[in-house]
Amino acid sequence: MHLLSTSRLESKDLLTSESFDCRDAFGHGFYQSRLMLICAIAAFVASSHSFVFSLISGDVEFWCKQPWQFKFSLNDSTDAVVPSPANRTSDPCRIYDEHSNGQNSSTGVPCQQWEYDNDWAKTTVVSEWNLVCQRQPLTSLMTMIQTTGAAVFALVAGLTADYAGRAPVLVLSLAILFVSAVGSCLSRNYAEHATAKFFTSGSSTVAMEMTGVVLFEVSTHDHRPLRIVVAGVVGLVLGDLWYVAMIPVKLDWEVKQVIFILPGVLLLPAAFLVDESPRWLIANSRHKAVEAAMLTAAKTNHFPLPSTACLVEKLNRCAKKNALRRRAIIQELFGDFPIRLRTLTMCGCSFTCTFATYVAFFSAPSLKTPWRPFLSFIANVSGYAVMHLFIMKFSMLTVIMAWFVVLFGLQCLLSVTVVNPSAINELLILLDVGFYYTGGFVFFVYVLELFPTAVRTSAAGLTFAFGRVGAICASSALVLKSIGREDVAFATAACLVFASLVALRGLPPDTAVECARGTAGSVESKMSIKHMKNTLGSRLRCPGKARRDRP
């Protein structure tokens, strides 16, 4: 929490970095549109890397492998090794004990080797790494590894980006993403693939986070949150669509993985196209770099360069004046709701909503229905559309609170319907997951609005990391599912969501960005009034000179 301490905040120019509109600095045009496209691609790539293991670990029919010790014919050996044909499908994880009397014994032991349907065996890593029966939890472990990678990378990258800048962190994340993606395609065992997934998940998350932050900080004030949400949602929708389109494709899992993540190369040019955020440069008093960054953006947008230079000069003067009153500025920006309390509130809310959604994910019945991915895609798109309409009409805080109300209602319903799984329960789970992905991006944008530039990525990284911790804690639902008490997990999630909803009501109606605009406008007005008073006073003290100055 040192990065969010008062002493660190006093070393940053919190007010000047938020006091101007980018429309006045370098306009709105191709510069922002290019960043929106990059942000959408980054969201698509992050979505692809989160789905790829699910894509290549599809279900396949399996049964216990026949031990070589049995000297029976094929049919007799099958009867001796596998439980009766009526039970082969229901219990393919047990085999007769080879030390018993074969067909005359009912003693069973867990299988150690399996055989798979030859038509589909090469299309999934399940047959390659034997992720069945007692080894099936390894698939959930892979999800936890991905989640942990995203949490660690988001936290470290967020803290680093406030120190070193957004652009260097983005370039480093893209380099790690490229190397780890190649490593995941070349991996030939579970341990190698899990290691690669840790880095691909983390680096793709950081790339999405950094591009979103830079887009936020260079966008004009009007509809800024909406532009970022649209860019992110477009990428997520395309990622969902790409996943649904690749599910029925019958290819070897290695080839399928390469094809699925291949579009990620479209993100590599971002290392050269994304410049450092001018707001971050101002917050860190790098005034020479500010002018260069703004002039570059102005040239790209064909904005008048003299206007940009004039604004830069004005910002330099404001920065010198604000340097004398930084402690007062902190009080004006945060008031009675200090930055650490804001951070804890948002971290708690992120933990809660992610915990609730992953409880639904882990508690979902393992239905093999082919229409489930398509219905999930429809639920996600519906959630995106509803959230888009809400953002157009209501404030960000209102939208977030409405989202938590919906999540609370879904958790309450699921705690009741999960006792007797049905189509309604399955639909509620799909809606829960769909609304989480939609609201999660809106929640991320609200965090960007709530904190000033100097600590924005630190707060965003902490918030995201706490959310991933919530996902890891939600794995406890697997234990409750094994004893048939998923309702306890949903009831716990509902209580946490309600507590977060109460905490959100305590947040101030104005974000730090809005307060900075108001404070900057108030200071400028006071300075103008003071200048007018001084001018009027000098004229009253020298009436003769004043008359001579008249035309």
Query: What pLDDT was estimated at residue 327?
Result: 74
Dihedral angle sign, alpha carbons of residues 230, 236, 240, 241: positive
Rounded to whole angstroms, the Cα distance separating 210 from 96 reads 56
Mean pLDDT for 321-349 is 78
Q: How confident is the model at residue 117 (pLDDT cuts 50, 70, 90)?
A: confident
Q: Does the pLDDT of residue 152 top 60, yes or no?
A: yes
Rounded to 5°, angle at Cα 86 from 80 and 89: 90
In this prediction the pTM is 0.83
Q: Does the pLDDT of residue 471 top 50, yes or no?
A: yes
Query: What pLDDT was estimated at residue 262?
Result: 93
Q: Does the pLDDT of residue 246 top 60, yes or no?
A: yes
Query: What pLDDT was estimated at residue 514?
Result: 57
Tens-digit pLDDT profile for residues 374-421? 677 777 777 777 777 787 788 888 888 988 998 899 888 888 877 676
Query: What pLDDT was estimated at residue 71?
Result: 45
Mean pLDDT for 79-107 is 54
Taking the CA of residue 264 as centre, how many other CA atoms within 13 Å lie in the half-sphere pointing to its CB?
30
Q: Does the pLDDT of residue 527 top 70, yes or no?
A: no
DSSP letter for each residue of 477-491: HHHHHHTT-HHHHHH
Tens-digit pLDDT profile for residues 53-83? 988 988 888 778 766 555 444 444 444 444 5
Query: What pLDDT was estimated at residue 370?
Result: 56
Q: Does the pLDDT of residue 480 top 90, yes or no?
A: no
Tens-digit pLDDT profile for residues 354-382? 998 888 877 765 544 556 666 777 777 77
Mean pLDDT for 511-522 is 54
Higher-confidence residue of 160 and 485: namely: 160
Give the highest mean pLDDT range of 47-51, 473-477, 534-538.
Answer: 47-51
Return the closest-CA partner of residue 297 out of 311, 316, 284, 285: 311
Q: Which residues contact 325 (CB under 8 A, 6 or more apart)?
A: none
Rounded to whole angstroms, the Cα distance separating 498 from 490 reads 12
Q: How confident is the model at residue 533 (pLDDT cuts 50, 70, 90)?
A: very low
DSSP letter for each residue of 52-66: HHHHHS----EEEPP
Rounded to whole angstroms, the Cα distance separating 22 from 113 reads 63
Residue 116: strand, helix, or coil: strand
Query: What pLDDT was estimated at residue 46?
Result: 94
Q: What are phi and psi of 27, to 5 degrees?
A: 75, -170
Q: Does the pLDDT of residue 104 top 80, yes or no?
A: no
Q: Does the pLDDT of residue 5 top 80, yes or no?
A: no
Tens-digit pLDDT profile for residues 267-302? 999 999 999 999 999 988 888 899 999 999 999 999
Sort 350 into a burial class: Cβ within 10 Å, 0-12 / 13-18 / 19+. buried
Q: Does the pLDDT of residue 89 top 50, yes or no?
A: no
Query: What pLDDT was estimated at residue 149?
Result: 94
Cβ(182)–Cβ(426) below 8 Å? no
Q: For the chain, which domains are there?
A: 2-59+133-505 (1.20.1250.20)
Higher-confidence residue of 335 and 89: namely: 335
Helix (H) or strand (E) run with residue 95 in it: strand 94-96
Work out the mean pLDDT of the chain and round it to a whole number.
80
Lowest mean pLDDT among 38-47, 241-250, 337-346: 337-346
Query: What pLDDT was estimated at residue 548?
Result: 43
